[in-house]
Chain A
Amino acid sequence: MERYIGRDLARPDGPAKVEGRAVYVADLDVPGAWVGGVVRSTVARGLLLGLDFDPGFDWRTVAVATAADVPGENVVALIADDQPLLVAREIEHWGEPLALVAAPDELQLARALAAVRPRIEARAACFDLERSPRVFKSIRVAQGDAGAVFRDVPPGARVVEGTYRTDSQEQLYVETQGFVAFPPASDGSVTVRGSLQCPHYVQKALARALGIAPEEARVVQLATGGGFGGKEDYPSVLACHAALLARVARRPVRLILGRHEDLAVTPKRHPARVRVRAAFAADGTGLALEADVLFDGGAYTTLSPVVLSRGVLHASGPYRWPAAEIRGSVVATNHVPYGAFRGFGAPQTCLAIERLMDRAARELGIHPFELRLRNALRPGDTTVTGQRLEHSVGSLEVLEAIARRTGFDRHAWGAPHAESGPRRRGLGFSFFFHGAGFTGSGEELLRGRVSLALLPDGRVEVLAGSTEIGQGTQALFTAIAAEALGADAADVVLATPDTARVPDSGPTVASRTCMVVGGVLAAAAAELRQRVGDGAASWRERARAFLAGGGDGAVTRAYAPPPGARWDEHSYRGDAYPVYGWAADVAEVFVDEDTGEVDVARLWTAVDVGRALQPRLVTGQIEGGALQAVGWAHREVVSARDGRCEQDRLATCIVPTTLDAPRFDVTLVEVPYPGGPFGAKGVGELPMDGGAPAVLSAIEDATGIHPAQVPATPERILDLLVARAEEAHA
């Protein structure tokens, strides 16, 4: 009988958070700390000819760092080393860091920042992804001969095509990014504390920038006020800046971005243009798919190659395609670099394939639910990369669940509306999957580790680099460890993610913390349990006896790939992901045809999570992700003018409030995954994928227009409604 799996555990981080005691970076009291700031470029592309320092300012009162002061390499180490920490000469985007200043207080800092005058020669910039002169990465996935199907369409078959665009999106973690850095210790080692998802990414970046060994850079995570991918890559930039300032100023430095600056310079979701066409037999069976995926990467590589990879690998949707060709490129522009945001490329391509399925349903005269059901990947099927789906394929189960919950399969989708007046109701649908964990051989190469240490009192300390950013890592790890040990939850202690103490478990990204790191944790706990032995006495008594008998209470385990997994990075063939999460959404909207306004009233979602280890937590992940998706679908506008983000405050960077959130109806479907802890699989990103296509599908049902761009703002909807009216008159 399981004690902790499937039953909600109290959050270990709960009491401190509800009582206001949790310490976030801005709450840290660091005596003698100065405040840091950044001098930024005011053009999107140009040459930095020099920095003039106003002679009227007393520069002895502050500390300044430029590219010349970087002791190691002037790079933000990540995938490609193309992004400088501070501009030496070439400026590639608006807001690019040119120099750093630290001052005793905010007022003096503001004066000093204003007294640095960069001399810049502006150059022509590129903001159009379709006219980019440079490709960061291209990927091609091919199966069978899709070209032949489209060249010589079989009799009775039908080709459906469309071009779909998605705009950027701001993560909008409510806590802005920030770090406190301490000056180098006498042995040269450096410590930073901050708001982050991936302590070991920051550690590697610090080592490269400061010219020290990774173990000489100590990174400690503080309570983190949301991430959603936004604190995956950018904390490396901020931590290096703060550490550089602390080194020059010879005192601790707080570098915490204000909301304006955070919105202006941190990476957001990649804008995309996806062209897609598919051939269907008359009965709706998919014959071939072609997709052309284009992402705007912004000024530097950041995580773009991996975002593109996930985008391309999800462009097929959860469907069987005997022949497919998917080509993707992510290109350079002079936008602020784009980066990680929940879904990581998949929401963009999911929108395209799901809109295409709706269009196909209309053209083929088949119900959109029926079309999805007919083409859904089933156990034993192969994906477009040739991956045979064997375990935890909950595709039909989620379709069955959403139909039972909503009756969408009997809804006359797209039928002309009888109601009069401007307010039209519509229901929309989406069906989607999301690969859990790193792509391809990622997990095998990374070999994320978890350690356990028996404490003298018999409790077990879990040492992992995975971070709690709100999603419930602490409760999950406590439940998994206690269950696998056969101990009480109170016997489990979690170490703070501190690179001086915890092993590299891999980053807290890619829906991998529960499934991959949790799996390693369960294996480590099972090993410790075996060493200590079962018995009638309590865990602590047995553990103390084990230690007293000279037992070794330290266990470290690394990720072991499932047997038989294969992946070829060159041809993009094989097992793209260890396993997939499956889901289906139905959205109910009301569209005002006079104003173009959309009200998303309800959202039903059925999600195959493998096993709901903590039902309340996973429901919170699903509802939270789904609201971000609904916001992106029609409300959250992020635009740039001359490379500068136009939404520079929360009054203009709009995200859903309590009044905007739909009523959610979550159905948890459990098709256990044998490779995950107690059957669980990754779910963090999945809910981000289906909301936007379901909302656009519902707008189509309500109005008859076919929205092809996210967000479907009132302006865009009105344009389509006007075009429809003009067509009717013509």
Chain B
Amino acid sequence: MRPLRLTVNGDTLETAAPAHWTLLEVLRYRLGLTGSKQGCDKGDCGACTVLVDGRPQLACLTLAALAEGHAITTIEGLMPLHVAAGGDGPDPVQGAFDRCGALQCGFCQPGMMLSARALLNRNPCPTRGEIREALSGNLCRCTGYTQIFEAVELAVAESLGVAPAPRAWEEQRMKPAEAQEQARRAAAALAAARERNDGGPGARS
């Protein structure tokens, strides 16, 4: 057994575990934080993704001992951290995932949402291509990914105060002019925001 002192979701927690245990094992089976999932234990599926100092990291490939001294964020911490930062209720990523159909079975979603949160922290207005790239380490077998991309885009659009571009199946139920106008506004807001952010604080690193 090795004593461990970990900073998880803003709290400093002390526990002990065999020296070879991974961060995922300690989170799940010592600290009771079972929101981080084990899908493969080989670093392939991304279901165990947590944030370490704000960057996505695979907890199943991280020795718990090496996580000491770093700030760890798990899915359980997203809402409390959002509230602590002055937000109201769940993290916007969580709300958007829930409303967009981005989650079906839900098993890959904790890791997926943490990857998305890390993306938005470093790039508040990502393009579809940047979203695809950032989430490419997180496998989902249910959704076909589109509603996940749409969730991230919804979170972005809401942060800019515009409606997101209508999805194909929504657009077919709208008046063509109305759909075009909504898509145009979303694209314009996104482009303006990207211009503002380019090179400024919080820009892509």
Chain A residues within 8 Å of B, Cβ to Cβ: 8, 10-11, 13-15, 17-24, 26-27, 29, 171-176, 223-228, 258-259, 469-472, 615-617, 619-620, 623-628, 649-651, 655-659, 661, 663-668
Q: Report how far A656 CA is from B169 CA in the complex, Å.
A: 23
Known A15-B98, A226-B141, A664-B144: A624·B42 in contact at CB below 8 Å: no
User: Is B42 a contact partner of A26 (Cβ separation < 8 A)?
Assistant: no
Give the chain A neighbours of B145 by CB distance below 8 A.
623, 627, 656, 658, 661
The secondary structure that dominates the A interface is loop
Residue B108 is within 8 A (CB to CB) of chain A in the complex: yes
What's the least CB distance linking A8 to chain B, in Å?
Answer: 8
Considering the complex, give the chain B residue whose CB is closest to the CB of A604: B168
Contact of B37 among A29, A225, A651 (CB under 8 A): A225
Considering the complex, give the chain B residue whose CB is closest to the CB of A469: B105
User: Is A174 a contact partner of B140 (Cβ separation < 8 A)?
Assistant: yes
User: Is B146 a contact partner of A623 (Cβ separation < 8 A)?
Assistant: yes
Of the 9-residue stretches B28-36, B64-72, B180-188, which lies at the interface with chain A? B28-36
Contact of A470 among B104, B139, B169 (CB under 8 A): B104
User: Is B141 a contact partner of A628 (Cβ separation < 8 A)?
Assistant: yes
User: Is B98 a contact partner of A18 (Cβ separation < 8 A)?
Assistant: yes
Known A619-B147, A657-B136: A225·B106 in contact at CB below 8 Å: yes
User: Is B168 a contact partner of A17 (Cβ separation < 8 A)?
Assistant: no
Give the chain B neighbours of A469 by CB distance below 8 A.
105
Residue B133 is within 8 A (CB to CB) of chain A in the complex: yes
The 6 nearest A-B residue pairs measured at CB: A20-B35, A470-B105, A225-B107, A623-B144, A470-B104, A17-B106
User: Is B101 a contact partner of A258 (Cβ separation < 8 A)?
Assistant: no
B residues 107-151 with Cβ under 8 Å of A? Answer: 107-110, 113, 131-133, 135-149
User: Is B98 a contact partner of A10 (Cβ separation < 8 A)?
Assistant: yes
Considering the complex, give the chain A residue whose CB is closest to the CB of B172: A667
Residue B75 is within 8 A (CB to CB) of chain A in the complex: yes
Q: Which of A19, A616, A667: most chain B CB closer than 10 A?
A: A19
Known A174-B139, A627-B144, A658-B136: A666·B105 in contact at CB below 8 Å: no
Known A225-B106, A259-B39, A620-B104: A658·B141 in contact at CB below 8 Å: no
Give the chain B neighbours of A655 by CB distance below 8 A.
139, 141
Q: Report how far A588 CA is from B50 CA in the complex, Å.
A: 36
Give the chain A neighbours of B99 by CB distance below 8 A.
10
Provide a sorted-by-A list of 16 A–B residue pairs whose CB atoms are within 8 angstroms.
A19-B78, A20-B76, A21-B35, A23-B34, A26-B28, A26-B37, A174-B139, A223-B105, A226-B107, A470-B103, A470-B142, A615-B170, A620-B144, A620-B147, A623-B145, A624-B141
User: Is A650 a contact partner of B139 (Cβ separation < 8 A)?
Assistant: yes
Q: Report how far A209 CA is from B60 CA in the complex, Å.
A: 36
Q: Report how far A23 CA is from B35 CA in the complex, Å.
A: 8
Q: Report how far A616 CA is from B100 CA in the complex, Å.
A: 7
Give the chain B neighbours of A19 by CB distance below 8 A.
35, 75-76, 78-79, 90, 94
Considering the complex, give the chain B residue whose CB is closest to the CB of A626: B144
Q: Report how far A633 CA is from B142 CA in the complex, Å.
A: 17
User: Is A225 a contact partner of B132 (Cβ separation < 8 A)?
Assistant: no
Interface residues contributed by chain B, number (CB under 8 Å): 61
User: Is B40 a contact partner of A650 (Cβ separation < 8 A)?
Assistant: yes
Give the chain A neighbours of B37 by CB distance below 8 A.
24, 26, 174-175, 225
Give the chain B neighbours of A668 by CB distance below 8 A.
169, 172
Give the chain A neighbours of B167 by CB distance below 8 A.
619
Q: Report how far A531 CA is from B169 CA in the complex, Å.
A: 39
Give the chain A neighbours of B74 by CB distance below 8 A.
20
User: Is B168 a contact partner of A665 (Cβ separation < 8 A)?
Assistant: yes
Give the chain A neighbours of B40 by CB distance below 8 A.
259, 649-650
Contact of A174 among B76, B108, B144 (CB under 8 A): B108
Give the chain A neighbours of B103 by CB distance below 8 A.
11, 14, 17-18, 470
Known A174-B105, A616-B147, A659-B132: A226·B142 in contact at CB below 8 Å: yes
Residue B190 is within 8 A (CB to CB) of chain A in the complex: no
Considering the complex, give the chain B residue whose CB is closest to the CB of A29: B32
Q: Which of A471, A472, A619, A659: most chain B CB closer than 10 A?
A: A619
Q: Report how far A659 CA is from B131 CA in the complex, Å.
A: 9
Q: Report how far A665 CA is from B168 CA in the complex, Å.
A: 6
B residues 149-192 with Cβ under 8 Å of A? Answer: 149, 167-170, 172-173
Given A616-B147, A619-B167, 13 more A-B residue pairs with CB atoms under 8 Å apart are A10-B98, A14-B103, A15-B98, A18-B95, A19-B78, A225-B108, A226-B107, A226-B142, A619-B147, A625-B144, A627-B144, A650-B139, A658-B138
Contact of B142 among A15, A620, A658 (CB under 8 A): A620
Q: Which of B78, B138, B145: most chain A CB closer than 10 A?
A: B145
User: Is B76 a contact partner of A14 (Cβ separation < 8 A)?
Assistant: no
User: Is B79 a contact partner of A649 (Cβ separation < 8 A)?
Assistant: no
Q: Which of B47, B106, B140: most chain A CB closer than 10 A?
A: B106
User: Is A619 a contact partner of B169 (Cβ separation < 8 A)?
Assistant: yes
Q: Which of B32, B75, B131: most chain A CB closer than 10 A?
A: B75
User: Is A472 a contact partner of B104 (Cβ separation < 8 A)?
Assistant: yes
User: Is A651 a contact partner of B42 (Cβ separation < 8 A)?
Assistant: yes
Give the chain A neighbours of B142 by CB distance below 8 A.
226, 470-471, 620, 624
User: Is B35 a contact partner of A624 (Cβ separation < 8 A)?
Assistant: no
Considering the complex, give the chain A residue whose CB is closest to the CB of B105: A470
Known A174-B140, A650-B40, A655-B139: A620·B101 in contact at CB below 8 Å: yes
Give the chain B neighbours of A22 by CB distance below 8 A.
106
Q: Report how far A13 CA is from B107 CA in the complex, Å.
A: 12
Q: Report how far A619 CA is from B139 CA in the complex, Å.
A: 19
User: Is B132 a contact partner of A174 (Cβ separation < 8 A)?
Assistant: no
User: Is A224 a contact partner of B105 (Cβ separation < 8 A)?
Assistant: yes
What's the least CB distance linking B96 to chain A, in Å?
Answer: 9
Q: Report how far A15 CA is from B106 CA in the complex, Å.
A: 10
What's the least CB distance linking A581 to chain B, in Å?
Answer: 16
User: Is A667 a contact partner of B169 (Cβ separation < 8 A)?
Assistant: yes
